[in-house]
Homo-oligomer: A and B are copies of this chain.
Amino acid sequence: MTRAYNFSAGPAVLPESVLRQAADEMLDWHGSGMSVMEMSHRGKEFMSILAQAKADLAELLNLPSNYKILFLQGGGVGMNGIIPMNLLGNKKSIDVVNTGSWASKSLKEAKKYAKANEVATSEPQHYTCIPPRDTWKLDPDAAYVHICSNETIGGVQYHWVPDTGSVPLVADMSSDILSRPIDVSRYGLIFAGAQKNMGPSGMTLVLVRDDLLGRALPITPNAFDFKQQADNDSMLNTPPTYAIYIAGLVYQWLKKQGGLAAMEAHNRKKAALLYDLLDATPFYTSPVARSDRSLMNVPFTLPTEELTTAFLQGAKERGMVQLKGHSSVGGIRASIYNAMPIEGVQALADYMKEFAAHHG
């Protein structure tokens, strides 16, 4: 068995120790005689897994007591519809800051349920930066302000938390959740698909301030009604049990790594290996504004398509996979989530140097 260095944007690399434990426990979890996949979600075995996952996550996030942890289904795209349904209440409008592909989708979907205002956009800059806060035209009567904290495709990330006054801030953190400490109290709601920094796709984490519960539109399906799910500890319906179990193992791994501050330091070190090289090597172009560069997704381009193809081929031969940029952007994208070891990033940086020297 050889493990590749897997730079996929998501579903993405997981800690090897987590996968080993999952493999070891596949047929018999802790002497129960069952795989976690086979357990009733209401049995004491799975209930203990769920409780542990919640406790570890709350500890990692230093979660204030007035926030609920929900493990739901539907992914980020599903949440684009589910969140307006849950948070609109008797308000008429939603504010969205458009920073790229993901925020654009959220904006479009919100329009099904409300007047959705694009209060700022970096589209004129081809989504290579975050619009400064003082350019946002916020509506003080909006139900909430939606941001995407890290644009997976564009490689643009907020390195500051916007002040939205008394209007709740909602953040799609699908691709940078748990990659750095966050002050949850600055947000009304945080959501994230699991498949970048937490576990398998099919689980969606929602952290919601409890005063925002109970505003769901009558058309909200029960399974996606945050209050109902909060009242039932995410068990109004069968939750994605195996994905929660894997996420729980990842939370334990994160604690062993030293928590989110340690992860951020580690992630900064990894990202610097690539950005320093990009800045020092004219052969490569990094399209993103320096202040807004993502620590998770590092897109860059080569001078020609032929060179890009050759780069990808050579990377694969060296055991580095899933480096192709998103079709809407092209070039290369190195996703270097929590579970990407620094050795993988170093291997990529070494190869980039070598490739530029040879072809530059």
A22 CB–B CB distance under 8 Å: yes
A237 CB–B CB distance under 8 Å: yes
Interface residues in A185-240 (C-beta closer than 8 Å to B): 193, 195, 199-203, 218-224, 236-240
* Contact of A223 (CB < 8 Å), options: B32, B77, B218, B222: B77
A2 CB–B CB distance under 8 Å: yes
A8 CB–B CB distance under 8 Å: yes
Give the complex CA separation of A8 and B224 in angstroms.
25
Quick one: given A27-B19, A203-B202, are A76 and B38 in contact (CB under 8 Å)?
Answer: no
Q: Is the CB of B11 within 8 A of A22?
A: no
Q: Which of A8, A31, A246 has the most CB of B within 10 A?
A: A8
A6 CB–B CB distance under 8 Å: yes
The proximity string for A residues 5-49 relative to B, scoring 1 for CB distances below 8 Å and 0 otherwise, is 010111111101001101110111001111101111101000000
Q: Is the CB of B221 within 8 A of A219?
A: no
Q: Is the CB of A202 within 8 A of B14?
A: no
A78 CB–B CB distance under 8 Å: yes
- CB neighbours (8 Å) of A75 from chain B are 73, 223, 237-238
- Least Cβ distance of A82 to chain B in Å? 6
Q: Is the CB of A237 within 8 A of B3?
A: no
How many copies the complex holds: the figure is 2
- CB neighbours (8 Å) of A23 from chain B are 23-24, 26-27
Q: Is the CB of A322 within 8 A of B1?
A: no
Give the complex CA separation of A11 and B47 in angstroms.
13
- CB neighbours (8 Å) of A319 from chain B are 33
A109 CB–B CB distance under 8 Å: yes
Give the complex CA separation of A6 and B74 in angstroms.
29
- CB neighbours (8 Å) of A22 from chain B are 26
- Least Cβ distance of A74 to chain B in Å? 5
Give the complex CA separation of A41 and B8 in angstroms.
10
A353 CB–B CB distance under 8 Å: no
Q: Is the CB of B222 within 8 A of A41?
A: no
- CB neighbours (8 Å) of A28 from chain B are 1-3
A297 CB–B CB distance under 8 Å: no
A158 CB–B CB distance under 8 Å: no
A98 CB–B CB distance under 8 Å: no
* Contact of A74 (CB < 8 Å), options: B39, B74, B321: B74
- Least Cβ distance of A220 to chain B in Å? 8
Residue of chain B at shortest CB distance from A245: B200
Q: Is the CB of A27 within 8 A of B1?
A: yes
- CB neighbours (8 Å) of A201 from chain B are 41, 238-242
Q: Which residues of A come within 8 Å of B, CB atoms?
A: 1-4, 6, 8-14, 16, 19-20, 22-24, 26-28, 31-35, 37-41, 43, 73-78, 80-82, 109, 112-113, 193, 195, 199-203, 218-224, 236-243, 246, 319, 321-322
